[in-house]
Structure 1
Amino acid sequence: MRMEAIVITFERMTGALERLMLYPVSVTVILSGKIAGGAFFGITITTAMLIGLSFIFPLQITNPVVFVSSMVISSFTFSALGAFVSVTVKQVFEAQTLANLFRFPMIFLSGVFIPVSNLPATVKPLAYFMPLTYSVDCIKTSLGHQPEIFRPVESLAVLLLFALVFLGLSAWILKGRMS
């Protein structure tokens, strides 16, 4: 998410994104490429961290398909969220500030530290509107825990839906700002 919030905003500031818009491809295709690059970066960093940490904390991945699927789809979803954040602002520092507005509540309300089922009833509905909730649920399931919200296939579908919504909103906003 951080990568996209910086790269797209910086490219808009320098005019590089406007030059890309001169090519005969749609805004959605351009943003999809940016998101794919950010997702690849996220997957690479995550893989490196997992390999490094596996020497310290051994992982018992009981469902590697769910684990890898969750990692890949989550990377695309959060890159798309970063793209959404980046097209709504003009400066890099604004993008980082706005990204934190999304990032910090997600960390504390999405089951990373406190299971969603243990959240107070007043904030629990917010967790269901955060993509990290579904990522955490899939990762926990792939490590042998029972799903807390949905089965993995349903959680992955929700993550894909989030990714498509963020991509669509990003393209719509960027088209409006570029014309």
Structure 2
Amino acid sequence: MDDDIVIEVTEAEFHAAVRTSLARLGLTYAELEDQARRRDFSTAQAHSLWTSVGGAVNTDLLENPVKYDDAILITEDGTVITVNLPANPEHFAEFAAAILRCTTVEHLDLTPGVSLWFDEDGRESWPYNPVIDALRNLYGSTDSTHGPVLITGYGERIEPLSQATAGRLLREINDTDA
């Protein structure tokens, strides 16, 4: 047909997309390959990714293991983006306000060591965020959430999420029905 659209991607774009998909699933390519070998996928999304890219990946171009960024941003439309925190924690408030597109930020603890940051003044002016709400529901919260949310580690001060925590949160987000 004349109206069929074919989109061609470069090898670098393909591998970047695979890296992003693996990070969102909280898997390395070796783990995905092992699941395929055992025919026992951890999620339907992992099976779908293997069906799409299995065997076509040059693992040298993937830079395994997948490195997680320091924090997770869930935008108001439910898009999940991993981001790096500023090198100087003194600048976190400005960073969070900029990434959340607001003037003041507020936080609450999702779990010990994991904080959610959101627009303190404009919560009700943002649309409902079903993705972060579904994640919060996993941890017992029944409050509804509006607008973008930044997820970071938190101890005595703002900290990057550990790779294990980021992977767990990304899997939980991916597994929600939102």
**TM tier, shorter chain?**
under 0.3
Greater length-normalized contact order (CA 8 Å, ≥ 6 residues apart): 1
Larger Rg: 2
In terms of fraction of residues, the more strand-rich structure is 2
- Calculate the TM-score normalised by the size of structure 2: 0.25
The structure carrying a bigger helix percent of its residues is 1
TM-score, normalization: structure 1? Answer: 0.25
